[in-house]
Amino acid sequence: MWATTRTVSLQGATGHVIDVQVDVSQGLIATALVGRPDLSINEARDRCRAAITNSGHEWPVTRRITILLSPADLPKRGPHFDLAIAIGVLAASEKDFPVAALANAVLIGELTLDGRVRSVPGVLPMTMAASTRGVDRVYVPEPQAAEAALVPGMQVFGVRSLNQVVALLTGAEEIPEAPAVEPLTGDPLLSWRGEERLEDVDMSDVLGMADARFSLEVAAAGGHHVLLSGPKGAGKTTLAERVPTILPDLAADESLELTAIHSLSGGLPPGAPMLTRPPFRAPHHSASRSGILGGGTGRVRPGDVSKAHLGVLFLDEFPLFPSDVVEALREPLESGVITISRGDEGAVYPARSMVVFACNPCPCGEFHPYNRDNRCGCTEIKRRQYRNKISGPIADRIDITRFIEPLRQHQRDDPFGSRESSAVIRARVTAARERQAIRYVGQPWRLNAHVPGPVLSEHWPLSDPAARRLDSELYSGRLTHRGSVRVHRLAWSVADVRGVAQPGPEELDIALRLRSAQPLELRSLYREGGAA
């Protein structure tokens, strides 16, 4: 006798529906598990046997049991195969089991020895993968039912035990009671203000810095990467922490995409699965490579680069990060994805975030271009070595570079200084993104920073005078070809922020200044309807 159940295997953010084929027949008594399982799946034989026996069912101890995880060429990892294996064994060994009930269902969950179903990471991307294959029913641990229900058109059953799954499949009139299932992440024993402290910050807290605030507004509107440089205490971190406050809420498809990534990492808070605000991640420069980029022992997990997807990744003291981590950022900065290769396994995670780099101009952080303010004791060689830690290919992928100067006394006490709130700036950023949504309707990209260069030049060119000046900058060697494409994108973001139909010479001049760290003219910070 044989039966087939289904579950899902994850490779990075990609899910594959797996057929769990169970054959119970005469032969040498043994339980064979084939199809490239990892250690946690191999151990499922003992977990499933104990769970079936302790749940009041019979394990076919006098038969040979062969369990095939198909397709057999895909590597499979994780204890969430338990539920599909146990139900497959019961369906193949019990004559009255309704095998037809398994035809269009996916089973996800880890089993304990007494038959309870434990939570597992990655339920949302597994359910999304099942939905794309036409599956319309999924059985998941009870605390993760709301997470799976985020997938449209999916019928979700939250279960606590193996017996409850059997009762649902067999159409029993009464569902047996079972103890509550603990969520994947419980309440911490200690609580402190971590990222929650950022909920209280606002752009109105920033005094002066109109140049930098306008630059961040353009970056937020078009999804551009930013480098903030300046002496210590100038306000680089203050500005970076307030960038998420000027970003609009995520769209429904973006929320589902981001929530799936956090589900993969196992850090999705129970009870509130849908993430609607752009994330903010700020890893320390001493963090491990796998913590920043993704990886780890056992199952490959997403790192901070992917957890910041559709939000802000802040890398403070950027030159202090290990060189291999810095160079690995080339791919996400350019294409918006991060590829992790380990042995015969490869994982691809989305990493389309707005990256904000911050660094001091020298190791001591006291260097200033004006002699009257310069208190740096570093030699020129040390300053050059420090700056050279940002390699040319990385610097070429950063769209906006700004030098942040410490505020002077008259700027702190200026009663006429502009102090716009994040809500006011966010409204302008939202309007700029709406213009992009209309312009790129039907296209696979959302923001100016994502549009390929050739497509941008063909369908959304600059005005003739602006195009001639951009060509002049390129042919003179002041811009690389990649740099010219990024300036073109920046010009469109400036135009969207200013409400201009097509970037002209003025918008291009602002884009070139943003790119080359030149100061902006005062008139660039103002436009009809208000200030930046």
- Decide if 262 contacts 310 (C-beta within 8 A): no
Q: For the chain, how many residues are written?
A: 532
3-state class of 78 per DSSP?
Answer: coil
Nearest CA among 38, 129, 114, 134 for reference residue 81: 38
Q: How far apart are the C-alpha atoms of 443 and 456, rounded to whole Å? A: 12
Nearest CA among 49, 53, 72, 65 for reference residue 1: 65
pLDDT (average), residues 310-325: 92
346 contacts: CB under 8 Å, gap ≥ 6: 11, 12, 339, 340
Integer angstrom CA distances of residue 47 from 91, 112, 183: 17, 7, 20
Asked if residue 526 has pLDDT above 60, the reply is no
pLDDT on residue 50 = 97
CATH number of the structural domain 2-170: 3.30.230.10
Q: How far apart are the C-alpha atoms of 58 and 48, rounded to whole Å? A: 11
pLDDT on residue 409 = 65
Q: At what angle do helices 44-54 and 82-93 cross, to 10 degrees?
A: 60
Q: What is the pLDDT of residues 7-43, one digit of tens each?
A: 999 988 888 999 999 999 998 889 999 999 988 899 9
Q: How far apart are the C-alpha atoms of 364 and 382, rounded to whole Å? A: 10
Higher model confidence: residue 523 or residue 99?
99
* Tokens 């796998």 found at: 290
How far is C-alpha 280 from the geometric centre of its chain's CA atoms? 10
Q: What is the pLDDT of residues 129-176, one digit of tens each?
A: 999 999 999 999 999 999 999 999 999 999 999 999 999 999 988 899
DSSP H helices in 397-504 = 409-412, 422-439, 453-459, 464-475, 481-498
pLDDT on residue 131 = 95
Nearest CA among 112, 133, 173, 224 for reference residue 450: 224
Asked if residue 527 has pLDDT above 90, the reply is no
Count CB atoms within 10 A of the CB of residue 46.
11
pLDDT on residue 338 = 93
pLDDT on residue 341 = 81
pLDDT on residue 188 = 47
pLDDT on residue 80 = 95
Q: At what angle do helices 505-516 and 464-475 cross, to 10 degrees?
A: 30
SS3 track for 348-359: EEECCCEEEEEE
154 contacts: CB under 8 Å, gap ≥ 6: 127, 130, 131, 135, 136, 137, 138, 148
Q: What is the pLDDT of residues 231-249, one digit of tens each?
A: 888 889 999 999 999 999 9
- Decide if 337 contacts 2 (C-beta within 8 A): no
Q: What is the pLDDT of residues 194-222, one digit of tens each?
A: 456 667 889 988 888 888 999 999 999 99
248 contacts: CB under 8 Å, gap ≥ 6: 426, 429, 430, 433
Q: How is the chain split into domains, by residue range?
A: 2-170, 196-531
pLDDT on residue 365 = 77
Q: What is the pLDDT of residues 59-109, one digit of tens each?
A: 999 999 999 999 998 889 889 999 999 999 999 998 889 989 998 999 999
Half-sphere exposure of 270 (CA within 13 A, CB side): 16
Asked if residue 4 has pLDDT above 90, the reply is yes
* Tokens 């040390």 found at: 382
Q: How far apart are the C-alpha atoms of 406 and 369, rounded to whole Å? A: 12
Integer angstrom CA distances of residue 76 from 8, 83, 225, 372, 451: 9, 15, 36, 63, 36
pLDDT on residue 269 = 67
Compute the mean pLDDT over every residue in the chain, rounded to the nearest whole number.
88
pLDDT on residue 529 = 42
Topology at the third CATH level for domain 196-531: Rossmann fold (3.40.50)
Half-sphere exposure of 199 (CA within 13 A, CB side): 6
pLDDT (average), residues 415-443: 89
pLDDT on residue 373 = 67
Q: Judge if pTM exceeds 0.75.
A: yes
- Where are any strands of DSSP class E within 200-272? 226-229
Higher model confidence: residue 147 or residue 345?
147
pLDDT on residue 364 = 83
pLDDT on residue 70 = 95
pLDDT-derived band at 189, boundaries 50, 70, 90: very low
Higher model confidence: residue 418 or residue 188?
418
Q: How far apart are the C-alpha atoms of 366 and 231, rounded to whole Å? A: 5
pLDDT on residue 299 = 74
Give the range among 35-44, 333-342, 489-498, 518-527 with minimum mean pLDDT. 518-527
Cα dihedral 181→183→189→193 (10° resolution): -160
Q: What is the pLDDT of residues 251-303, one digit of tens each?
A: 999 999 999 998 888 777 666 678 899 999 999 999 989 899 988 776 788 99
Q: How far apart are the C-alpha atoms of 275 and 259, rounded to whole Å? A: 6
Asked if residue 414 has pLDDT above 70, the reply is no
